[in-house]
Amino acid sequence: MFGYRYIKSKPTDHVILYSGGRIRRQGLGFAGFVFMPFATAAAVPTDARDEIFAVEAMTADYQTITIQGLISYRIKDAVVASKQQDFSFNLYTGKHNAEPMKQIVERLRAIAQTACRDALVRSTLDAALNKSDELSQIIMRGIGDDKRLAADGIAVDRVLVLALKPTPEIKKALEANLREQLLRQADAAMFERRRAVTVDEHDLKLREEANKRELAERELANEQALEAERRKTAEAKADTKKAEATADAEASRIRLKPWTEIEPSQLYAMAFKDWANRDTSLTSVSLGADAMERLASQLSGAKAG
């Protein structure tokens, strides 16, 4: 109506209204009426953005490597950025007349590629493939050293290197080499495992033999100890029997000693007297030749006396 139009921007867009070449109004999330015939406007996005990048670099051994990463950036000074980039937009359609954010991304990608080339030109392919964290720091330092970015109101919050990839042919060669190494390691591990099993079995057999030998030695020692105890017991029994026999012999000798002091004739007489005093009748006496001879000798000696 009458050349005025109501405009409403995003909360993260810093809108700057110009009239007659001078800034008339500005602010985040602008909303209001604008006199269209004489007004121009610029919308500067101030939200943080993540941009995926992929750059190539060559290593010291002349191998091409692709670096894939992420850059988080934002516009920290919208007024300064609007003076360096074309952020103007069509008040009727709300679309930018140019692609300022794309230009900023291209600048950041170029800085990242330069930093990667400078870092990898002194590294071999094997070393470069393990430099993700180091490359992130190098790119971040390269962006921080670029004074023009800060002068243009652009700030980079972080840089992440997500992947380092060689060419497909080199990748296949590396995978084949790695696969061969893994197979060798697997074979070595299997051999070591079998060797360990063999050693364990050998040690187990040695322990079993040692246990058997120790058990046999213990059984032999027990048998020897038992035999020694039996020997001691037998010796003690023999000593006891010997002592008993000696005692019996001594007792018999003591009992018979008085009989050795009596004359044989008296012994005969006492024997006959004992027979005579028995209750049973004596019907016959059998005397051998020796006994008769001795008796005759005794009787003849008595008569002669």
Question: Which numeric CATH code is attached to 4-166?
Answer: 3.30.479.30
Q: What is the structure's pLDDT at 289?
A: 72
Structure tokens at 105: 């991304």
Token pair 């060669």 is found at: 173
Count of all residues that appear for the chain in the document: 305
Confirm whether pTM is higher than 0.85. Answer: no
pLDDT at 295: 66
- The CB density around residue 100, as the number of other CB atoms within 10 Å, is 21
- The domain ranges of the chain are 4-166, 169-224
- Chain mean position to CA 109: 45
Per-residue model confidence (pLDDT) at position 26: 87
pLDDT of residue 1: 54
Confidence (pLDDT) at 74: 92
Three-state secondary structure call for residue 174: helix
Radius of gyration of the chain (CA): 65
> Would you give per-residue pLDDT tens digits along the chain (305 residues)?
567 778 888 888 899 888 877 888 888 888 888 777 778 888 999 899 999 988 888 888 888 888 999 999 999 998 899 888 888 888 888 888 888 899 999 999 998 988 888 888 888 888 888 888 888 998 888 888 888 888 888 999 999 998 888 888 877 877 777 788 888 888 888 888 888 888 888 888 888 888 888 888 888 888 888 888 888 888 888 888 888 888 888 887 787 777 676 766 676 677 666 766 666 665 666 666 776 677 667 666 555 54
Identify the pLDDT of residue 283.
Answer: 64
Q: In what order do the strands lie in the sheet with 13-19?
A: 22-28, 13-19, 39-45
DSSP string computed for 209-274: HHHHHHHHHHHHHHHHHHHHHHHHHHHHHHHHHHHHHHHHHHHHHHHHHHHHTS-HHHHHHHHHHH
Per-residue pLDDT at 8: 82
E strand or H helix that includes residue 190:
helix 168-260
